[in-house]
Structure 1
Amino acid sequence: MASLLIEIQTEELPPKALDNLSKAFAKELTFSLKEQDLALPNAQVTAYGSPRRIAALISDVSEVAPDKPFRQKLVPVKVGLDAEGKATPALSKKMKALGIECEPSELKVVNDGKQDQLVYEGTKAGVSLKDGLQIALDHAVRRLPIPKVMSYQLENGKTVEFVRPVKHLVALFDKEIVPVELFGLKAGRETMGHRFHVKEPISIKEAEKYAEQMEKEGKIVASFEERKNKMVGELKSAAEKLNAEIIMPDDLVNEVAALTEWPVVYESGFDEEFLTVPAECLILTMQQNQKYFALRDKNKKLMNRFLLVSQIEAKDGGEAIRSGNARVVRARLADAKFFYDQDRLQTLESRVPGLAHVVYHNKLGTQLERSERVQKIASRIAEQIGADPALARRAAKLAKADLRTLMVGEFPELQGIMGEYYAHHDKEDDKVALAIREHYQPRYAGDELPSTPESLAVALADKIETLTGLFGIGQLPTGEKDPFALRRHALGILRMLIEKELPLSLDKLIAIGTEEESVVPGVKDATEELKQFFHDRLRVMQKDQGFTAHEVESVIGSEPAILADVPKRLKAVHDFMSLPEAESLAAANKRIENILKKNTLPLADAVDPALLTEKEEKDLYEAIRTLEPKLEADYKAGRYEDELRSLAPLKAPVDAFFDKVMVNAEDEALRRNRLTLLNELHKAMNQVAKLSCLAS
């Protein structure tokens, strides 16, 4: 056994897909080799990926797979043998197709329950590495997650498809070449090193030395992770020397690591005059257009210095690289400054009418029409949560105006952010400016929530308008498809209502959105579907917090009006379940619900004590009456844990009642009174949560 190396050397691979491509290639190649018993089940695999290659090193690979016992059902005896016991053409054809060579007399006869079958039992020779690797290579190439396939022509004129044209194929079993082929190329040991530093091909001596040889002779760090870590270490070191904090979003780090074979970090800068442009614009310009790493000083203020990653070790110490990149970034930043200066020549308010030319949805109108709906919704929500309705309405009016600016046209990621800057320039109220920025929040899981009541009002309005409108025209998310990010909008609303402890019920919020959306022709009332959608998201949220499905269902099943109560109720239910009486009380509640569901008698407004004939029903009635004031006080004060703990003494009278009292008595008056007693018990016990959901 030995290690196996496969490398596919190509033209420049798509950087955002490189890491996934290299990992998938290694995984699929190893899977196929293990399936063919050419690699041990615990064989280790190392994935390599750099701008012009994907490779895999697999340990514990055999030159030939072990032979295996082989059993194959062929054809029924009456079909496979003639009267003299010789093979018929049907049997001969079947055996030839399967590569079986033996006399008919060597075959076994096995009855499958219907008829006698001819069965071959023997040993199947293990596949050779040459043949098995070809199968594995073809399998792995077909299974790669290629974002966009490229067609290209081979030297023989044949057209093939792959992520990029393949230049070299390396296949080494220890030190020996494995004769496989791919896209018209025969495997060898030669590959190409660094595009600029190494001109001649590199001959890989042995599989295990691949990474070491590529680094020493080829000036390539073959491992994506090692190269990324090396790059990040050098970036941090360079930033430290400048006494600066480096801005390194993961996406940018991964992309730059996929663009470089031999990362070398250089420092450069730009004119201080550009620092008058909002920092977000400069950072985005540097990151998106040039793949630079921006720097902040210790006061979090953007510096006019940046770091760049090259893959050239410059002989002049990098002076030409620094000055060249400074010239390039200057042109980019000049564009950003031009956009910013031009945008401020018009107020946000003057841009609002232009939203009439921006289509929101062909069934829901333009962004201007949508803006008018959001304004009304924001004003009404503001009244409910203690925000200033006028400021919320003003912010909602201006919230989408920056969509008409040059800066947001160039960088859509800056919508809201630029709106805040331009609102301050227009001397709008600070709360209005902040709400324009924050109304998109939370943009993703874990994102910050809007910070002021006015921002919350506009953010809630923006999201509930989207949900009620799209649900109203039947544009619901299905399966994994959610093109309008409705799940994200719903989770954002739930987080705001819960984490900000807003005194606004989900029902009221949906009602406000639905009422304002009803002015749009063709939009139907989707309240029930939307409510279910929110509850489904809420279930997921709370299960992610560690609560059980039964606990979550008990709280959501009680439909609390104020969602800020949900975490408190869930904690109370969780603690309640640790009581020895909990299981019995939950089961009793389930029994009560079943009895009340089957009942057809109209219940009385209150229990008539004169109709309580049995000791056990009298005891239960007194227990409820004694406990009700405390339960009510605890519930109103939000002491949910105390309220649920107070239910424990009810176990004994409830159990006794069900043991001794016939609820469905023949006397109708007695039956109605006992059902009314159970109904009152159910109401008293289920204010915090629907306890029947906790029954196992």
Structure 2
Amino acid sequence: MQYATLLVEIGTEELPPKALKGLSETFAQNLAQQLTDNTLKHGAVQCFATPRRLAIQIQDVAAQQEDQVVEKRGPSVDVAFDGDGNPTKAAQGWARSNGISVDQAERLKTDKGEWLLYKAEVKGQPLSALLADFVQRALEQLPVAKPMRWGNGNVHFIRPVHTVTLMYGDELIAGEVLGIASANKLLGHRFHCPQGIQLMHADEYEETLESAWVIADFAKRRARIEDGIRVQAQQAGGQVRADEALLDEVTALVEWPVALTASFDKGFLDVPKEPLIVTMKDDQRYFPLEDQQGQLLPHFVFITNIDSKDPEQVILGNERVVRPRLADAQFFYETDKKTALEERVNALDNVLFQKKLGSIKDKSDRIAQVAAGIADMLGSDKEIAQRAGFLCKADLVSQMVLEFPETQGVMGMHYARNDNEAEGVAEAIYEHYLPRFSGDALPQTIPGCAVALADKLDSLVGIFGIGQVPKGDRDPFALRRAAIGLLRIIVEKDLPLDLNDLVQLSRKSFGDLLTSESVHDDVVEFLLGRFRPWYQDQGISVDVIQAVLARRPTAPVDFDQRVHAVAAFRKLEEAQALAAANKRVANILAKLDSPVATKIDSGLLSASEEIALVKALEEAELRANDALKHNNYTGALKALAALQKPVDAFFDNVMVNAEDDAVRTNRQAILQRLRELFLQIADISVLN
């Protein structure tokens, strides 16, 4: 069997930069799967992606499919022949469909009977006859939301296609993909090598393109950009804050990256750095420079797609482009400062939050009320929290935030300082949006936590209160994200708050606006339900989470302590036996007609194993209760783990359902006592 390197490249117009990496990886996975599914052996797979191409290089690909023996089972022998041993119509029809006679069929004997069998050898087809179809199918399976159609044909793809190259070693494989015939001509750099270049061997793909001013490997191009940025930043006396998403996007925009440094007027530094950074990154894909203290410098690094003979002209061009954007930010800032945040609050009446729940002004009033209540629960300054809640949305109607929505909150903080509001108010205005995404920072101040919690509660209670519960993928108000953020703040900031109290406090702030009578229970259940995906992301098994959920603790910090205690308990040697015992106890008690008391009559104890278990229960209960006084669930479960041997001995040697009613009830009480000891923490009977 012949083996060689396979190279597939699709040359296109500029591909969407944010989707490029994912498209490339998926294309490679799809094609490799096509080869595997069709018994074409292959080695390592490498994908390539630039703005104008998707490519795959696969090592040691077999030139032909493996030959296969296909077995086709026919009717059973009982059905295939009549009483005289003659073939039935069923047997004859099956044989005819396989191109044989009945007497040519083999027999398949199993413990369930005997069947007719036909074995056919299917010769493997050459790669050259299959590849174009494989590539076409791999491309059709790409996640392309809005495909384009170009020219006069009906071919669709994410961008117009100009070239298709299918190379196997030094052989060009003929075929047509997306309406384009395979050829060994590759697109070169749009400016440095517009004439393109010929590929002579699949192994020479990277080197061939590099000679045409194209770095095909995404990771190599990204590393080159990182190195260029670092060198430029050092030369300018600054540093670049890490931004993986921006690096990926810029890598997807260029084929021959060259890093250069440009500057802007120092006067723009009077504007808060956040909107300047937003416009440089989001609008221009620049990398702003900061000093060691995190202060913005009047310089930025940018990546150009050409190696210019006169880089100064390229630098000047980029400086001209960014100047008006920075000037806009400066104008908005200076204009916004003339109007105090407090004066902007009434303008929020014209911004709708939700038709049934009122305006953003109404939401701000509720946030202020609830934030003050939460701050009071936490022993913090409720006036600071109330003031911050009242002002927290006011920057939404500022010119800066209208132009740069990403700066909401942070501009509110700057404008609050400009208005001489208390520093705690300014900080809480910024912090109330935190966390904005998974892994984001949390509020650092208690008033900031109070306003953040109040904001998230307002959305959760309000939307649930009018019956618009998130379903499936539909979550227009991002309630799942709000719920996770709320839990993270409480747990990670170790705040002594209960979900019941918080939901009740928020519900009161709505007056008679809410229509759902079950809103309180619905929101609490929704919040408790968010614990499962959160802990699963941390690697905690589902049964551990379910064990705690079964007890429904509504204080998030308490919930967290229980989860980690059960996770630690689950690793103990005694855990499996005790979980099984608890499951057995739960099943026994569930079959009883009425609840069982936990009072044990020592005079009714006779078997040595039940006497030992009761003694062990009393000792473990003392140690567990002492640990529980300090919410030390790990210590409590460790104390209860000592029950494993006496519990096993009890079940092995004692009949719970004794004939004597009093003895039977007493033994049931022992089990109830055992069960309730564990249920103080979690229902470990659900542990696997």
Matches within 5 A, 1:545-694: 545-576=538-569, 585-601=578-594, 607=599, 631-647=624-640, 679=672, 682-694=675-687
Matches within 5 A, 1:392-407: 392-407=385-400
Matches within 5 A, 1:169-568: 169-216=164-211, 218-316=212-310, 318-517=311-510, 519-568=512-561
Q: Is the CA contact 2:50–2:255 (under 8 Å) kept in the aligned structure 1?
A: yes
| Structure-2 residue corresponding to 1:159 | 154
Distance (whole Å) between structure 2 residues aligned to residue 34 and residue 221 of structure 1: 29
SS state of the match for residue 158, structure 1?
coil
Alpha-carbon deviations, 1:285-315, whole Å to 9, x = none?
A: 0011111111011222110011111111111
Alpha-carbon deviations, 1:554-577, whole Å to 9, x = none?
A: 333333353323444344445555
Give the deviation of 1:344 after TM superposition.
Answer: 1.5
- Determine whether 1:137 maps to 2:135: yes
Distance (whole Å) between structure 2 residues aligned to residue 599 and residue 238 of structure 1: 77
- Given the superposition, is the C-alpha separation of residues 390 and 519 from structure 1 closer, same or farther in structure 2, using an over 3 Å criterion? farther
* Bigger mean CA deviation after superposition, 118-127 or 419-428: 118-127
Distance (whole Å) between structure 2 residues aligned to residue 35 and residue 577 of structure 1: 41
Alpha-carbon deviations, 1:614-650, whole Å to 9, x = none?
A: 5877877676666656544432223434433444665
Distance (whole Å) between structure 2 residues aligned to residue 349 and residue 190 of structure 1: 65
SS state of the match for residue 237, structure 1?
helix
SS state of the match for residue 307, structure 1?
strand
Distance (whole Å) between structure 2 residues aligned to residue 34 and residue 662 of structure 1: 59
Q: Is the CA contact 1:13–1:163 (under 8 Å) kept in the aligned structure 2?
A: yes
Q: TM-score by structure 1 length?
A: 0.87
Matches within 5 A, 1:52-67: 52-67=52-67
SS state of the match for residue 246, structure 1?
coil
- Determine whether 1:123 maps to 2:121: yes
Q: Is the CA contact 2:620–2:642 (under 8 Å) kept in the aligned structure 1?
A: no
- Given the superposition, is the C-alpha separation of residues 116 and 361 from structure 1 closer, same or farther in structure 2, using an over 3 Å criterion? same
- Given the superposition, is the C-alpha separation of residues 386 and 168 from structure 1 closer, same or farther in structure 2, using an over 3 Å criterion? same
- Given the superposition, is the C-alpha separation of residues 579 and 602 from structure 1 closer, same or farther in structure 2, using an over 3 Å criterion? closer
Amino acid at match of 2:341: L
SS state of the match for residue 417, structure 2?
helix
Give the deviation of 1:104 after TM superposition.
Answer: 5.6
SS state of the match for residue 155, structure 2?
strand
Matches within 5 A, 1:3-14: 3-14=5-16
Give the deviation of 1:221 after TM superposition.
Answer: 0.7
Distance (whole Å) between structure 1 residues aligned to residue 158 and residue 627 of structure 2: 65
Amino acid at match of 1:178: I
| Structure-1 residue corresponding to 2:83 | none
SS state of the match for residue 559, structure 1?
coil
- Given the superposition, is the C-alpha separation of residues 324 and 610 from structure 1 closer, same or farther in structure 2, using an over 3 Å criterion? closer
- Given the superposition, is the C-alpha separation of residues 433 and 61 from structure 1 closer, same or farther in structure 2, using an over 3 Å criterion? same
- Given the superposition, is the C-alpha separation of residues 426 and 693 from structure 1 closer, same or farther in structure 2, using an over 3 Å criterion? same
Alpha-carbon deviations, 1:20-61, whole Å to 9, x = none?
A: 222222222232233333x41x42222121111112222223
Distance (whole Å) between structure 2 residues aligned to residue 413 and residue 25 of structure 1: 33
Give the deviation of 1:546 after TM superposition.
Answer: 4.5
Q: Is the CA contact 1:17–1:147 (under 8 Å) kept in the aligned structure 2?
A: no
Q: Is the CA contact 2:189–2:196 (under 8 Å) kept in the aligned structure 1?
A: no
| Structure-1 residue corresponding to 2:23 | 21
Percent of residue pairs bearing the same amino acid type = 37
Distance (whole Å) between structure 1 residues aligned to residue 644 and residue 4 of structure 2: 69
- Determine whether 1:36 maps to 2:38: yes
- Given the superposition, is the C-alpha separation of residues 502 and 665 from structure 1 closer, same or farther in structure 2, using an over 3 Å criterion? farther
Q: Is the CA contact 1:67–1:125 (under 8 Å) kept in the aligned structure 2?
A: yes
Distance (whole Å) between structure 2 residues aligned to residue 302 and residue 36 of structure 1: 56
Q: Is the CA contact 1:386–1:453 (under 8 Å) kept in the aligned structure 2?
A: no
Q: Is the CA contact 2:136–2:178 (under 8 Å) kept in the aligned structure 1?
A: no
Distance (whole Å) between structure 1 residues aligned to residue 675 and residue 167 of structure 2: 74
Q: Is the CA contact 1:473–1:524 (under 8 Å) kept in the aligned structure 2?
A: no
- Given the superposition, is the C-alpha separation of residues 132 and 583 from structure 1 closer, same or farther in structure 2, using an over 3 Å criterion? closer
SS state of the match for residue 159, structure 1?
coil
- Given the superposition, is the C-alpha separation of residues 44 and 576 from structure 1 closer, same or farther in structure 2, using an over 3 Å criterion? closer
Distance (whole Å) between structure 2 residues aligned to residue 597 and residue 370 of structure 1: 47
Distance (whole Å) between structure 1 residues aligned to residue 571 and residue 175 of structure 2: 64
- Given the superposition, is the C-alpha separation of residues 109 and 440 from structure 1 closer, same or farther in structure 2, using an over 3 Å criterion? same
CA RMSD of aligned residues (A): 3.7
- Given the superposition, is the C-alpha separation of residues 663 and 656 from structure 1 closer, same or farther in structure 2, using an over 3 Å criterion? farther
- Given the superposition, is the C-alpha separation of residues 630 and 165 from structure 1 closer, same or farther in structure 2, using an over 3 Å criterion? closer
Q: Is the CA contact 2:467–2:515 (under 8 Å) kept in the aligned structure 1?
A: no
Amino acid at match of 2:300: F
Q: Is the CA contact 2:621–2:640 (under 8 Å) kept in the aligned structure 1?
A: no
Distance (whole Å) between structure 1 residues aligned to residue 572 and residue 65 of structure 2: 60
Distance (whole Å) between structure 1 residues aligned to residue 164 and residue 595 of structure 2: 83
- Given the superposition, is the C-alpha separation of residues 74 and 638 from structure 1 closer, same or farther in structure 2, using an over 3 Å criterion? closer
| Structure-1 residue corresponding to 2:69 | 69
Distance (whole Å) between structure 2 residues aligned to residue 583 and residue 186 of structure 1: 63
| Structure-2 residue corresponding to 1:146 | 144
Amino acid at match of 2:263: G
- Given the superposition, is the C-alpha separation of residues 215 and 690 from structure 1 closer, same or farther in structure 2, using an over 3 Å criterion? same
Paired residue total: 675
SS state of the match for residue 54, structure 2?
strand
Distance (whole Å) between structure 1 residues aligned to residue 178 and residue 515 of structure 2: 55
Distance (whole Å) between structure 2 residues aligned to residue 420 and residue 608 of structure 1: 63
Give the deviation of 1:272 after TM superposition.
Answer: 0.2
Give the deviation of 1:276 after TM superposition.
Answer: 0.8
Distance (whole Å) between structure 2 residues aligned to residue 362 and residue 103 of structure 1: 74
* Bigger mean CA deviation after superposition, 657-666 or 380-389: 657-666
Q: Is the CA contact 1:608–1:673 (under 8 Å) kept in the aligned structure 2?
A: yes
SS state of the match for residue 259, structure 1?
coil
Q: Is the CA contact 2:384–2:425 (under 8 Å) kept in the aligned structure 1?
A: yes
Q: TM-score by structure 2 length?
A: 0.87
Matches within 5 A, 1:46-57: 46-57=46-57
Distance (whole Å) between structure 2 residues aligned to residue 44 and residue 433 of structure 1: 55
Distance (whole Å) between structure 2 residues aligned to residue 603 and residue 223 of structure 1: 70
